[in-house]
Amino acid sequence: MEAREAVGLNWDEERLIRRAVEGDQEAREALFGRYRSSLYQTALRICQNPEDAEDAVQDGLLAAFRNLRQFKARSRFSTWLMRVVINAALMQLRRRRAHPLLSIDQDDRQDNQQTIAKTVLDARPGPEESYAQKERMEIFARGIRTLPWAQGIALWLRGVEGFPLDEAARILHVPTGTLKSNLHRGRARLAAYVQASSGPVGQASAAA
């Protein structure tokens, strides 16, 4: 009882989860339906397209249903569900977007401020650099997966998708200060992982 209250899993929600796992379609619709609006709004912020956002919600809810047995109530159910849908929305975005630049240490004090950055991908690589960039991108992606979810998703939204700091915070439903903290910790851990895996990534380029 105390554990459930600590993470916000009430008895009604627990009952719906149990019934949904057992195959009760009405319970599943009631469980997911209460969060659908907020899930869609979050997916829309990421996808910037109503059709893609709807697809992301559908994909996310399907993935959540398939993995419902794995939900252990270590976090709020709504938080777990939001994470699943955010991941689905990012998958939608990746299908139609190229990412020419990934920065490990982008400055968040001002979004329009250029900084010295360790660049993972060059915007215009030569033939030999293309292979090296592909390898660095694979290392970067593996490194992201080693981070706690909050740090990894913060880095992905800011460094890969290029969302402004305040918008990324809204997507994740966290205060800006929390996002900055996750970015700072994530960058430190990711930089250490990349350096251990491949040595220095790219060349530091001074701002003009």
Give the confidence band of 141 by pLDDT, cuts at 50, 70, 90.
Answer: confident
Same domain for 148 and 204, yes or no, is yes
Most confident of 2-6, 41-45, 102-106, 130-134: 41-45
Q: Of 43, 73, 96, which closes a domain?
A: 96
Token output for 182: 């996750």
Same domain for 161 and 59, yes or no, is no
Q: How far apart are the first and last CA of the chain?
A: 58
Same domain for 121 and 162, yes or no, is yes
- pLDDT over 70, % of the chain: 71
Give the confidence band of 162 by pLDDT, cuts at 50, 70, 90.
Answer: confident
Same domain for 124 and 148, yes or no, is yes
Give the confidence band of 203 by pLDDT, cuts at 50, 70, 90.
Answer: very low
Q: Of 96, 123, 139, which closes a domain?
A: 96
pLDDT recorded at residue 86 = 92
Same domain for 92 and 129, yes or no, is no
Same domain for 107 and 85, yes or no, is no
Q: Which residues pair with 119 in a beta bridge?
A: 103
Q: What is the tens place of the pLDDT at every residue in 60-80?
A: 999 999 999 888 777 788 888
- Number of domains comprising the chain: 2
CATH number at residue 49: 1.10.1740.10
Its domain, for residue 16, covers 2-96
Same domain for 75 and 127, yes or no, is no
Same domain for 78 and 181, yes or no, is no
More confident residue, 35 or 139: 35
Give the confidence band of 12 by pLDDT, cuts at 50, 70, 90.
Answer: confident
Same domain for 70 and 114, yes or no, is no
Residue 36 pLDDT > 70: yes
Q: Of 78, 96, 114, which closes a domain?
A: 96
Q: In sequence order, which residues have a C-beta less than 8 Å from that of residue 194 and are 6 or more positions away?
A: 104, 120, 136, 139, 140, 143, 201
Check residue 32 and give left, alpha or beta (phi > 0: left; psi -120 to 50: alpha).
alpha
**Which one-letter DSSP state was computed for residue 70?**
G
Same domain for 87 and 180, yes or no, is no
More confident residue, 13 or 127: 13
pTM for the complete prediction? 0.63
Same domain for 207 and 108, yes or no, is yes
Same domain for 169 and 184, yes or no, is yes
CATH number at residue 163: 1.10.10.10
